Amino acid sequence: MRFFVTFFILIFSFFRVFACTNLLAGKSATTDGSTMITYAADSYMLYGALYHYPARTYPPGSMLDIYEWDTGEYLGKIKQVEKTYAVIGNMNEHQVSIAESTFGGREELRDSTGILDYGNLMYITLQRARSAREAIRVMTSLVEEYGYYSTGESFSIADPNEVWVMEMIGKGPKNKGAVWVAQRIPDDCITAHANQARITTFPLDDRTNCLYSVDVIAFAREKGYFRGRNKDFSFSDSYAPLDYGALRACEARVWSFFRRNNPEMDKYITYIKGETLDRMPLWIKPVKKISIQDMQAFMRDQYEGTELDITKGFGAGIYGSKLRVSPLSFKVDGVEYYHERPIATQQTGFSFVAQMRNWLPPHVGGILWFSVDDAASSVYIPMYSGINSVPECFDEDNGSLLEYSSTSAFWVFNRVSNFAYPRYSMVMPDIKKVQEYWETNFHTLIPSIDKAVIGMPVEDARRFLTNFSHTQAANVIASWKKLDEFLLIKYLDGVIKKENNGKFAQNEKKIPLEVIRPGYPESYLRQMIRENPGLRVKTQEEMDSRVSMEQLEIERSEKEQLRIEQLEKERENDKEQESKEETEQ
């Protein structure tokens, strides 16, 4: 089912389980004028599925049972509204989208008596809000009335016109509610958050673009987290102070997104490495406008082209693998070390790029580009906000983490990605080829699909879009199964079978004409022979000088006798030296 693992368990002294990434873009920062937010839901305990909540009406006085999103623990009841909106994944029928990343923050501020956790807060709000601003009002009023159960969260909240980041943390078991700040991202800017609170100081008198709880500063003063003038108050520094793990595993992901959109952000590598204090701005202007294809590429970032590149170095192994076996950090001789944590990671349950377009009707304008498993080796498939149901391959009841299903997208994509990890640099070009084929095809199709449904009655359009999204998902899964078979045949037993125009080179008996033996990179071979010099091939001269086993034993005995005699001689010399020194004294 849909339960997330508890994200922020401390593993070592400063590295936590850093779980999610969000990238955001205002409508004037994108090529087509759409707003965009992304979400990578990363957890080893999350099954990748597309959630669906149909629109419903409820009798007055109805109540809603709340079960914690992470564990399924019953938390309590809240009042149900009379009418709810339809939700596909993390986007509702009005093109409101919400995503999150957990920053944790001060542990003493978690309220174990609260009823609403972050997951329920998102999906309940999506069923109740028609705009980003209304979503903020719904979320904050719900936690004020019922209490906030989770640790600190950063939320991405967007509609077709506005993009917001809201950061929230509880006030502890004796103080119901939460403290929070929400800032609107300028239309021509981009931002990101990745498991570290990013709102520092904020305008106190701009209610159009900045909203906050009335006690956000006063509560910090009361708890001793802040002293100073109100205008100098920093939400992040007060409620989620930075540590090295937050810099290297969290802020680094934000930096990589920023530096790919503005070269001036390269300088913050010193901040990421813990060498300088200057924090990155909350938002930046990209040097060029961002397309949906760009945003999908950013979700596949692995620090390529930087000194943090996860596919380089000893840890990447023989074939440049991005896989690092958990946990993220480790100790050797009492010293703590770490693996880099990129945006694209193997434990992704699902990810999406949400695209909201204000020039189209709501049921057409919203597209949730949805993917399961590692974004680097999967496909973003368009799910329109107006569809009536979820494709079978994305259904949350089709398989689970402990139940394999051959029709589940999660399992189909995982078969391919897990085959690729140990032979990454060899296999990824084959995967990228199929990935690019489908995504290019989708981006070509979308304008004609939009045009086809604009004039239709709404219910007819919904049926058309449902059929389109279902068909595309089924087509991708069918092709990925073929890719799985193709990769197994091509790379069987560590060799590579040659191809001609996508077909294996073979004779009339279906025997491969030739196989390629890829071998190992020279750097790896040098490391191998340093650790095992006995692998060296003997020369012919050495072969010619071989002796019998009896002779070898005689030679070994003679060498051992010489060694013993040498030791005896050294002992005699030591005794003579000691005797000489005693005489001189």
Task: Please state the rounded mean pLDDT for residues 499-522.
Answer: 89
The per-residue pLDDT for 18 is 56
- Note the pLDDT tens digit of each residue in 386-421: 999 999 999 999 999 999 999 999 999 999 999 999
Q: Looking at the predicted structure, is the pLDDT value of residue 6 above 70?
A: no
- CA separation for the pair 188, 27 (Å, rounded): 7
* Strand, helix or coil for residue 416: helix
Q: Looking at the predicted structure, is the pLDDT value of residue 4 above 70?
A: no
Top-confidence residue, 525 or 1: 525
The per-residue pLDDT for 362 is 97
Q: Looking at the predicted structure, is the pLDDT value of residue 488 above 60?
A: yes
Top-confidence residue, 329 or 232: 232
Where does residue 522 fall: left (phi above 0), alpha (psi -120 to 50 degrees), or beta otherwise? alpha
Task: Please state the rounded mean pLDDT for residues 518-542.
Answer: 91
- Note the pLDDT tens digit of each residue in 243-294: 999 999 999 999 999 999 999 999 999 999 999 999 999 999 999 999 999 9
* Predicted TM-score (pTM) of this structure: 0.91
- Note the pLDDT tens digit of each residue in 205-217: 999 999 999 999 9
Model confidence band, residue 581 (pLDDT cutoffs 50, 70, 90): confident
Model confidence band, residue 464 (pLDDT cutoffs 50, 70, 90): very high
The per-residue pLDDT for 391 is 99
Task: Please state the rounded mean pLDDT for residues 122-147.
Answer: 99
- CA separation for the pair 407, 525 (Å, rounded): 41
Q: Compute how many other C-beta atoms are within 10 angstroms of the C-beta atom of residue 203.
A: 12
The per-residue pLDDT for 256 is 99
Q: Looking at the predicted structure, is the pLDDT value of residue 111 above 90?
A: yes
In degrees rounded to 5, what are phi and psi of residue 105? Answer: 75, -160
Contact (Cβ atoms closer than 8 angstroms) between residue 107 and residue 115: no
On average, the pLDDT of the chain sits at 94
C-alpha dihedral, 467 to 472 to 473 to 475, nearest 10°: 120
- CA separation for the pair 135, 137 (Å, rounded): 5
CATH 3.40.50.700 fits 20-394, yes or no: no
Q: Looking at the predicted structure, is the pLDDT value of residue 3 above 60?
A: no
DSSP-assigned letter for residue 135: H
- Note the pLDDT tens digit of each residue in 286-340: 999 999 999 999 999 999 999 999 999 989 999 999 999 889 899 999 999 999 9
Q: Looking at the predicted structure, is the pLDDT value of residue 2 above 90?
A: no
Amino acid at 169: I
Q: Looking at the predicted structure, is the pLDDT value of residue 17 above 60?
A: no
Contact (Cβ atoms closer than 8 angstroms) between residue 96 and residue 163: no
Q: Looking at the predicted structure, is the pLDDT value of residue 499 above 50?
A: yes
Contact (Cβ atoms closer than 8 angstroms) between residue 235 and residue 197: yes
- CA separation for the pair 332, 41 (Å, rounded): 31
- CA separation for the pair 250, 374 (Å, rounded): 18
The per-residue pLDDT for 16 is 46
Q: Compute how many other C-beta atoms are within 10 angstroms of the C-beta atom of residue 418.
A: 14
Interhelix angle 424-454/458-490, rounded to 10 degrees, is 160
Q: Looking at the predicted structure, is the pLDDT value of residue 59 above 80?
A: yes
Model confidence band, residue 38 (pLDDT cutoffs 50, 70, 90): very high
The structural domains of the chain, with segments of one domain joined by +, span: 20-394, 495-536, 549-585
